[in-house]
Structure formats: structure tokens, C-alpha cells
Structure 1
Amino acid sequence: MAASLPLELITEIFTKLPVKSLHRFKCVSKTWNSIITSTKFIKQHLRQTLILNTNFNNIIISSNNSIFSSAISAVKLRFDIINHPLNNLFHRPAVDIIESVHGLLLIADYPKQTLYLFNPSNKTQRFVPPAPSGPSRKPGFGFGLVDVFGFGYDSVTDDYKVVRLVQWFDSGLCRETSVYSMRNDSWESVNDKTVPYSLQQTNAVAAQEKLCFVVSSRDSKPVLKCFDLRTSTFSLVNHPELDSYDFGKMTMSLRNLRGCLCLLMNYQEHKVDPAKAMGDPLYNRQFLYADVWELNESKWVKLFRIRKNEIHKDCMYLRLVTYSKDMKSVLVEVDGIWFGWYDLVSNRIERVPVQGLRVEDSPYLASTYVESLVSVENNKVVSKKEGTRPKKTIEKNDFLSSGFKLKL
């Protein structure tokens, strides 16, 4: 069959196949392997995958020092553990999944001192060297107050980039911005000409080749600060018209849905008088309702509202995960503990059974990704004994993404 079909037709068929099948087909013949591993085909397959999976088809979760993955399903979520690069570190740190782009994950240890680019579909990985400290950090100056990252794709240069923002103790404002280029395997500083702002302890969300960070202006109101990966410039976007400015009773999260930036604003109330509450003030809040907005051509459009009586159970907050293929339901994460499909027609939520995750490992942080053939390999490995320092170069033949409280 392979000999009777023209290569153009074989290639077209391959672009519609899942990554797991293509990995097996590489062993069929040298011709098939050459097709599947070519840069041109990898881009064709990625474009086709993004067209067919606008809302992504997999969930990726970090829990303590483990990463789990599940295909998205309306019936049951079955999570399997994934071996990831940070497992090679001697101290096995907690894992933070910063963002997923084109099937590539940017992951970091809990203090965000060690970063890796990792594709769980083809197991390729790249150690991201530490960003150089800027002039605002001096000997004995202390440590950064907030250190946040973003990860995205620049179509102009066909490059994947990591952006790092740092805020120091001296002023309480962001003082440094640097960008890592995967193509150049190096960092460079970026001049931020926008007004001063304070960072929130949350990572950026990538949408339409921009990285969107939630920051606070001088009057403590939330603002979106967007970094354009193509021009390396910042812009500010105000939040939509909100029902209340009592930010102590609100949580806010961003998500890329259908390729657009979406904002979910949780409105909450105190369970008891704050003066009488014991323990962490966060746990003295309960969910009232949530509004979901979409940023469309610099304008916020309200999509829908989820109310307390539609959840059927007390909770503190919701996070968006993804839409269903028919766009009639949205998968939500509740308190980082359980998942449910919210029906946009009946306005009811149905809990989804989960396998492979333990409740004691919650709260979970769920993201979505598509399987891809894109490789990030740069042949650097990390020794378990030596921590984050690359040990040697190796050759591989394998083939090739309290107050105002924020949660992403």
C-alpha cells in the first residue's frame, strides 16, 4: 500500500493521525520516518491538530512533585502519571506548570529556580538557563518579592519564548523584564515603558501571541498587562465592568479558550464575621457566582454567569478548563478538588468521575494541551547530584509546550 500511494497523499493522511500513531509509523520505513521527522511535516501536522482541536484534547495537572495527564471526556477523566525532567533533580521539588503552547510545557520547580521546556508527547526536553540578574539586584540586596513567568510562540521569528518579570523589595514595583529565546538559547533584557505596577503571584496566560499578566495599579485595582511576543512591547488592558470593587471578596483567573483570552471573576462572601474568623482568611470565603468574559478586539464581552445554586455544593472558587467539542458545555475545576461539566443550556453542572488522582494531593492546577511532534531538545541533561547545572552533552537519535486574591 505504501508503495502504491503517492507521497503527497501519504503525507496528507499522516497530518490527520494522532502523535502516538505517527511514532509507530516511523519504524515502517525510512521514507515514512523521513516524512514524519521533517520540519515541514511537523508544522503541517501542528496546524491540522490546532484546527481539529480548537479547545484542546488533553488535561495536564501538577500535584506536588508529579504531573498527570488525561484525555478530555464527558464520561470519566482517567489520569496517568507522566515522567518529567524535574524528576531528575536530587530533591524532587514540587512542580509548577506555567503554560502549554503547541503541546510544549514550561515547567518549573516550586521556587522557580529551575525551568524546563518539555513535550510529554515525544519526551523531548530543554533545560532553560537561569535568567541573568539585572542592575536592580545588588549584593546583599535581598530576594525578589514576586517572580512570575509566561511562555508563548512568536510567529514572526518562528520562536518559542519565555518571559520573566521580577519585583524587588525596595519599591514594591516590577523592576526587571527579560525574555528567553528558544531559537537563540539565550536571555535578553526588555525595556518596559508602561506605568509602574505591582505583580501578583501568578503566571501569565498565552493568547493570540501575547502573554497576559494580572497586575495591580497604584490604587490596587487589577489591570491586565500584555506582552506582545512579536514586538517585545507591553500594553495595558483594563478589566471589564465589575459588580463590586471589594477585591477582598473576589478571585480572578485567566484562561485561553477557543484561542481567545477569557477572564473568570469569582464573587464571594464571608462565612462568618472576619473579626471572629480563625485561621487563613481565604477559607472564610464561599462562592456566590462567577462571571465569564472574553476579550474580543480590545473589548470585553460577557459570555455567561455560573450561580451558587447551579453548583449543588458549597465551594470557594471556580476555574475554567475548556469547552466541549460542541461548545454547549464548559469543563470547570472546583476548588482545585473536583471537575464538572457546566451545561450552558440547562445551566446545571454535572460532576465528572476521576481516576488516577488522590484527593489528598489536591488542590490540583489543571491546564490543557494538544499532542504535537514539536521538539525542544537541546541535548542538555541535569544530574541528580548536581541539581540544576548541566552535566554533559549527549547525542540522541530519538525524534523529535490577602486582599485581591488571584488564582490561575
Structure 2
Amino acid sequence: MEESNPAKKEEEEEEKKKAGTTNLPAAAAVPAVLTDDLIVEILSRVPARSVHRFKCVSPSWRDLIADPGNRKKLPQTLAGFLYDTYHRVNPDVREFHFASVSATAGAAPPVDPSLPFLPRDEHHLYVAHVDTCNGLLLCLAHMAPASSPSSTDMVESHYVVCNPATARWVDLPPHPKAPASVMARLAFDPAVSPHFHVLQFAKTDQEECITGVDIYSSRTGAWNRRETTRSVEKFNLYFDATSVFFRGMLHLLGWLQPMNLEADVDAVLVAVDMDGQVWETMRVPSRGISFGKIGLSQGCLHYATTPLGDVGRNTVIASVWYMKDYDSKEWVLKHTVCKNELGGITSVDYKVAAIHPDCDTIFLDSCEVDILASYDMQRREFRHIRHLEKYMACVFLPYVPFFSDSLAGADGQ
């Protein structure tokens, strides 16, 4: 039997290590072994944020991810926000804009807010942006009556759902009329179904409560009225707040009726399913009277508040919670942002405008100086995004491109 030689074994191990570093492919060369189709298949299974970061791996990966032919397979991240401003001459008419959140200077915006692919005729006045959901955009087309196209006293309207990335659209049938103004929200999840829903709520007086909802389904092509169930608490809705479609239910911010301004527990999330059969009210964290915002980020519901009426260098700009367990409705405080964390810009008052869907970033806006900014809660970094136009409205609609050609009931392309 050959005698064991520790020195010789050590020498052999060293030779193996050297051989491994010289004969095996280097780590940087491993991606070259993969075909483009296999890389795209792998990237289609990772979060959108990771796909965005993988553009930095190499020029070939950057081109592969940016290729229009691969976009349909890859998850997309937040591109920016659609928002509108009041017309300076006619306050009933809006002007529409897009604010990109990309750090790439000079990059072309991924969406034209004028939506030039939608058909127009002499009766169209303008098309308002109402809501977005997973790449689709809900619009309200305002038209003058055909009998009197020059008159705007009796404006007619109908909803349009479109995909700005593919220029496909659906004209919805006339929506149910309401004695007062209405609020409409879009619900769409391409991972579950190619069909979408539009939910329309009639605005009530502050002291009254919501009694039901009109729901349009692209599957049936028709509107249906659904009343609130008797088991749900009486509530009203904030008509200027965005909504979240999650777990098959539309979530909206509201408050319980009768309203109690001194009670923190009055603020609620209202959830309704797409059949209008299931209604829920969920308490949200509150620290007195504040401006609230909901969002879906990294697979969890998030809720952010900005206290009203508080001033000073250590003023809390935002408190951000996430729902750790949807079944138990447990909220966990994620971060609190104070004004002194925003670098040298401490004289400006901000409120939360939106929550990033893929990372721990919130977006802040200030009507005072017309600025849109972002704040990375992990790195504690504040970044100015852009100056906004004057007479800006308060709602920012997040836009995530959706490159699938599939749009249930599409009229055109």
C-alpha cells in the first residue's frame, strides 16, 4: 500500500486549484455559454427590478433586454407617472403630461400622454386619464353632442381602456348615469386573466355613504349594478385617491360613517371583488389627521401617511407601513422619513405621491414649488426628478409598460 505523504497531497491540492483557475471558464465568461433564448427565459422568471439592473452586466445583455421582441416576455418596472394640469383659460379642460423616473438623460418617454393612436373626430373635446393598472390606462373621452358640436354645455362621455405600449384600445359601452359626479377605477392582472374590469362609484355628500358600484366586465361586455352587502360597515370614499388591485379585489381609501374627525380608526381600506358580492373594510394605521396613499410594492399592500399641519425641521414627511399578513390584516411600520433627511432641501413641504412597486422607494411631490422627487428608504437618498408644470392636479398615475398584444375586446391597433 502506498504511504500517505501529507506534503505531496498538499502539493496536489494546490495544483488542482491552479488548474481550476486556468482551465475552467472564468466567471465572467459563463454568460457566454448561455444562448440568448435561454437568458431571456431565465430573466422572465426574476423580478422586474432585477431585470432592470441586469442591463449593466454587459452591452449584449443590455441590448437583449431592450430588444422589442423580448419585451413581451420580460417583466417591466415603473417607467414614470401620468399626471394632468388644469387649463389656464378653461379650468374644465385638462392638459396631460408624463414624468419619467428613469435616470437616463435624454431618453424618449415610453408613452405619449396625448395618446395619438386613439381615433378622433370633430366631436371629441379631449380624453382624460382616469386610472392605470398593470400597463393598461382607463380614459374618459369627452365629446360634444353631434347635434351641436360647437357647444360644450352638454358634454357626453364614454370610457376607453387602452394599452399605450401597443396602441390597442377598447371602447366601452355607455356607462350608467349618476345624478352626481362619478369615480371610476380599473382592475387588471395579466398573470390571472386577459380580461379587465372597470368599477364606477357615484360620488355622495360627505355625510352620506356609498351604497353600491357599477361594474363593467370585458368578459361579458356589459355593465352590472351591485349593492354593498349588509355586513359591510357604512363608508365613503376619497375620490382623489388612487386604488390598488390585489388578490382579485379592488382596494380604495375611505372613511367610516358617520365621520369622527377625532378618531384615528375612521380611516379604512375598502375592498370589493369583481362580482360585487364581497365587500370588506380594513383599518389602516393612523397618527391623527393626515394625507394617505396606498400602493402595492414587492407583493405587499403599503400605506403611507403625511401628517397635516405639522411644521419644523424634524417634521415627519411620511410614515410607511406594509401589510405583513393579508389574512390577519397586520400592518408593520417600515420607515419614517423626516424633513431633515432630505439634504439641504428642508424649506419645502412634501407629501407622498406614490410608492414604487418593486423597491423601497417612495415618491414625493410639493405643490408649493411644483417638484416631483424620490426617496430611497434603504439608502436614505433623496433625488429630485423634475420640476412640474403649474396648476398641477394632485393625482399621479403610475405607468408600467405592458407589451403584450392581448387586450380583451380590443377595437383597434
Fold-level match, TM-score > 0.5?
yes
Cα deviation code 1:113-167 (max 9, x no counterpart): 432111111100111223335xxx6xxxxx2255343423386665211111224
Pair 72,239 (structure 1): closer, same or farther in 2 beyond 3 Å? same
Percent identity of the aligned residues? 15
The residue aligned with 1:237 is: 282
RMSD across aligned positions (CA): 3.9
Larger strand fraction of residues: 1
1:243: Cα distance to partner?
2.5
The one-letter code matched in structure 1 to 2:269 is: L
TM-score, normalised to structure 2, is: 0.64
1:73 is matched with 102
Deviation for aligned residue 1:107:
2.3
**Partners of 2:258 and 2:107 in 1: how far apart?**
45
> What aligned pairs does 1:192-341 form with structure 2 within 5 A after superposition?
192-193=228-229, 194-202=232-240, 203-220=242-259, 221-229=266-274, 232-240=277-285, 242-244=286-288, 247=289, 250-269=290-309, 288-296=316-324, 297=326, 298-311=329-342, 312=345, 313-322=347-356, 327=359, 330-335=361-366, 337-341=370-374
Task: Give deviations 1:3-39, integer Å, cap 9, x for gaps.
Answer: xxx9x979959969668622xxxxxxxxxxxxx9xxx
- Whole-angstrom distance in 2 between the partners of 1:97 and 1:199: 16
SS at 2:211 equivalent: strand
Distance (Å, rounded) in 2 between the aligned partners of 1:219 and 1:370: 41
Letter in 2 for 1:73: S
Going from structure 1 to structure 2, the CA distance change for 1:235 and 1:310 (only over 3 Å counts) comes to same
Instruction: Say whether 1:343 aligns with 2:371.
Output: no
In the TM superposition, 1:123-134 aligns within 5 A as 123-133=167-177
Letter matched to residue 208 of structure 1: R
The residue number in structure 2 matching 1:106 is 138
Partner of 1:369: 400
Q: Is 178-187 or 86-95 further displaced after alignment?
A: 86-95
- What secondary structure sits across from 1:93 in the alignment? strand
Change (3 A) 1:10 1:368: closer
Q: 1:58 to 1:157 in 2, by over 3 A?
A: closer
Are residues 10 and 154 of structure 1, via their aligned partners in 2, closer, same or farther at CA, if it must alter by over 3 Å?
closer
Higher relative contact order (CA 8 A, sep 6+): 1
Contact 2:194 2:408 in 1 (8 A): no
Q: Deviations over 1:45-69 (max 9, x none)?
A: 76x533xx4xx23113122445545
Structure-2 separation of matches of 1:377 and 1:159: 6
Question: Which residue identity does 1:200 align to in structure 2?
Answer: Y
1:362 to partner: Cα distance: 3.0
One-letter amino acid matched to 1:289 = I
Structure 1 residue identity aligned to 2:80: I
Asked if the contact 2:291–2:307 (Cα under 8 Å) also holds between the matched residues in 1, the reply is yes
The separation in 2 between residues aligned to 1:19 and 1:191, in whole angstroms, is 46
Q: Distance in 2 between matches of 1:107 and 1:367?
A: 14
Matching residue of 1:62: 83
* Aligned residue number for residue 176 of structure 1: 212
Matched ranges for 1:92-171 at <5 A: 92-93=125-126, 95-101=128-134, 103-108=135-140, 113-133=157-177, 143-144=179-180, 146-153=182-189, 158-168=194-204
C-alpha distance in structure 2 between counterparts of 1:170 and 1:251, whole Å:
17
Structure 2 residue matching 1:360: 3-state secondary structure: coil
> Where do 5+ consecutive residues of structure 2 fail to align?
1-34, 45-50, 52-63, 86-93, 143-154, 260-265
Task: Give deviations 1:212-269, integer Å, cap 9, x for gaps.
Answer: 11122124222111113378421111112x232xx2xx11111222232211100121
Residue 305 of structure 1: how far off its partner (Å)? 0.9
Distance 1:201 1:123, change over 3 A: same
Question: In the aligned structure 2, how far is the partner of 1:105 from the partner of 1:97?
Answer: 8
* Per-residue deviation, 1:180: 0.8
CA contact (8 A) 1:205 1:211 kept: yes
C-alpha distance in 1 between matches for 2:211 and 2:197: 20
Shift in CA distance, 363/156, structure 1 to aligned 2, threshold 3 Å: closer
**2:111 aligned with 1:88:** no
Rounded Cα–Cα distance in structure 2 between residues aligned with 1:77 and 1:366: 22
Q: Work out whether 1:359 is the aligned partner of 2:406.
A: no
